[in-house]
């Protein structure tokens, strides 16, 4: 699809380009050597990290920023461009207008979850390479469409599970695949983060400079409220997926990665929203389990567990060396983030930066590994090579891990176990759960059923 036709087909006339005082002077640098021009969509939170990370790469420029909140641009441009002495970016409030910009080679999508898949598909249709923050999809059905789009369009699509780019994870997977733990039958993910109440915020007029209809996008129309906007959207079902789909998606992905499994056959999740009386809809405490039947592929039955805890807790068996509690990534006096893997010969403890095996009944220290990679470099390398196979976390990788999250949330919300057929990718014997694999969309922000 040509860019001009794409803009017409997605109703770009409904969104206006913001006044753009920050415009890159000329385009003489475009195409210099093998420079990759990136745009970051969503700059309130993690998007700022994406800008900085891309600017640290050789011959990469974040040439444009896009956000529905115009009030963010002045401070972000000052901090991320003027202060370090970088050429200033183009500014957009509507991603559809950004996708029309032929100077942009690739986009980094850092929007709320409910926008992820639609933003990826529209980017691919416009000929942009795309990396998307976790979770790559807001529903199970969106994940299937994302995989279809990644295969259909001639662009690179990278899922945001950046731990797959880390030598730490890769060496651990090699150790497990080589039989270092014997038969690995169970993997666990832990997400213990000290999260206080979000309180209650009233409905109120939309703040000046916020393009709220565009922010809602495919979600149901609701009045503006601070707890349905910046960051706290994570805890509302219309936009987020709770902490299992926020920080937890990384540990779910790593558990699945180490276990070497795809889609499950049975899912059960229990939990609740404990301690606080506030606007949060998603659980702040959750325990999920998944069963996998790998016998049809010559494997064995395996299982996964995952826990979200939001308040006072222990380390859950994910101990780090004494004196290192505040140095490991995402591990502090308040947080414990990571994975455990159990086999017939021992077990492995892993956080983002390192892993350690403990062998036998005596738990003797065994092999170990460490190291962090660069997921942004992996994306750029794949673009320059024009090779989808270089991506360490593909759309299908992201979909399969997100599928576990969505099925667990469905089980939690319905209060019952979900039986699932990984071949047909349908819920077995539960029409209500099957309907929850997808959602309704608000025009004109419709998920295309045919690509």
The pLDDT, as a whole number, for residue 41 is: 98
The pLDDT, as a whole number, for residue 165 is: 97
The pLDDT of residue 4 is above 50: no
The alpha carbon dihedral of 389, 391, 394, 397 has a sign of positive
The pLDDT of residue 22 is above 60: no
The pLDDT, as a whole number, for residue 380 is: 98
The pLDDT, as a whole number, for residue 319 is: 65
The pLDDT, as a whole number, for residue 196 is: 96
* Arithmetic mean of pLDDT over the chain: 90
Say if residues 218 and 442 touch (Cβ distance below 8 Å). yes
Residue 69: DSSP 8-state: B
The pLDDT, as a whole number, for residue 23 is: 34
Beta strands in 193-284 (DSSP E): 266-272
Beta strands in 128-254 (DSSP E): 129-132, 157-159, 184-192
What CA–CA distance (Å, rounded) separates 197 from 376?
33
The reply to whether CATH 3.40.50.720 applies to domain 3-163+378-394 is yes
Q: Counting beta carbons within 10 angstroms of the beta carbon of residue 429, is it exposed (0 to 12), middle (13 to 18) or buried (19 or more)?
A: exposed
Report which secondary-structure segment, H or E, holds 4: helix 3-9
pLDDT of 94-115, one tens digit each?
999 999 999 999 999 999 999 9
Nearest CA among 89, 91, 78 for reference residue 25: 89
The pLDDT of residue 325 is above 60: no
pLDDT of 346-372, one tens digit each?
999 999 989 999 999 999 999 999 999
The pLDDT, as a whole number, for residue 27 is: 37
Hey, where are the domains in the chain? 3-163+378-394, 164-372+402-435
- CATH fold, domain 164-372+402-435, is Dihydrodipicolinate Reductase; domain 2 (3.30.360)
What CA–CA distance (Å, rounded) separates 292 from 304?
8
pLDDT of 28-81, one tens digit each?
334 446 899 999 999 999 999 999 999 999 999 999 999 999 999 999 999 999
Pairing relationship of beta strands 157-159 and 129-132 according to DSSP bridges: parallel
Q: Which of 27-31, 140-144, 305-309 has the lowest mean pLDDT?
A: 27-31
pLDDT of 376-395, one tens digit each?
999 999 999 999 999 999 99
pTM of the model: 0.91
Q: What is the average per-residue pLDDT within 303-329?
A: 74
């Amino acid at each position: 699809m040509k860019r001009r036709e794409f803009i017409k087909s997605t109703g770009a006339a409904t969104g206006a380009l913001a006044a753009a005082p920050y415009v890159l002077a000329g385009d003489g640098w475009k195409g210099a050597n093998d420079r990759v021009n990136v745009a970051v969509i969503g700059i309130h939170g993690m998007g700022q990290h994406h800008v900085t990370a891309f600017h640290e790469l050789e011959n990469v420029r974040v040439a444009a920023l896009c956000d529905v909140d115009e009030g963010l641009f002045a401070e972000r441009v000052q901090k991320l461009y003027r202060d370090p002495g970088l050429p200033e970016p183009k500014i957009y409030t509507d991603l559809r207008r950004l996708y029309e910009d032929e100077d942009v080679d690739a986009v980094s999508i850092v929007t709320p979850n409910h926008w992820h898949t639609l933003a990826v598909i529209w980017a691919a249709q416009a000929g942009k390479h795309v990396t998307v923050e976790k979770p790559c999809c807001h529903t199970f059905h969106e994940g299937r469409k994302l995989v279809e789009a990644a295969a259909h369009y001639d662009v690179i699509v990278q899922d945001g599970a950046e731990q797959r780019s880390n030598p730490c994870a890769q060496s651990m997977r090699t150790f497990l695949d080589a039989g270092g733990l014997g038969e690995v039958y169970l993997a666990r993910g832990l997400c213990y983060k000290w999260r206080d109440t979000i309180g209650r915020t009233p409905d109120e007029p939309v703040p000046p400079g916020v393009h709220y209809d565009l922010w809602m996008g495919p979600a149901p129309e609701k009045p503006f409220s601070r707890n349905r906007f910046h960051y706290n959207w994570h805890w509302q079902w219309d936009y987020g997926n709770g902490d299992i789909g926020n920080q937890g998606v990384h540990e779910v992905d790593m558990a699945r990665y180490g276990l070497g499994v795809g889609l499950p056959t049975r899912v059960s999740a229990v939990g609740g929203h404990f301690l606080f009386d506030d606007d949060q809809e998603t659980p702040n405490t959750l325990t999920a389990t998944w069963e996998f039947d790998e016998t049809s592929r010559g494997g064995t039955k395996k299982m996964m567990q995952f826990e979200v805890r939001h308040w006072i807790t222990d380390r859950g068996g994910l101990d780090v060396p004494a004196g290192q509690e505040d140095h490991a990534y995402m591990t502090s006096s308040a947080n414990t983030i990571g994975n455990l893997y159990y086999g017939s010969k021992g077990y492995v403890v892993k956080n983002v930066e390192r892993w350690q095996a403990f062998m036998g009944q005596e738990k003797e220290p065994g092999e170990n590994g460490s190291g962090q990679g660069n997921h942004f470099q992996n994306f750029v390398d794949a673009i320059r090579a024009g090779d989808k196979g270089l991506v360490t976390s593909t759309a299908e990788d992201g979909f399969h891990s997100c599928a576990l999250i969505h099925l667990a949330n469905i089980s939690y919300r319905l209060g019952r176990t979900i039986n699932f057929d990984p071949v047909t990718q349908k819920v077995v014997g539960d029409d209500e759960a099957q309907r929850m694999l997808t959602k309704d969309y608000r025009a004109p922000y419709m998920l295309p059923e045919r690509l």
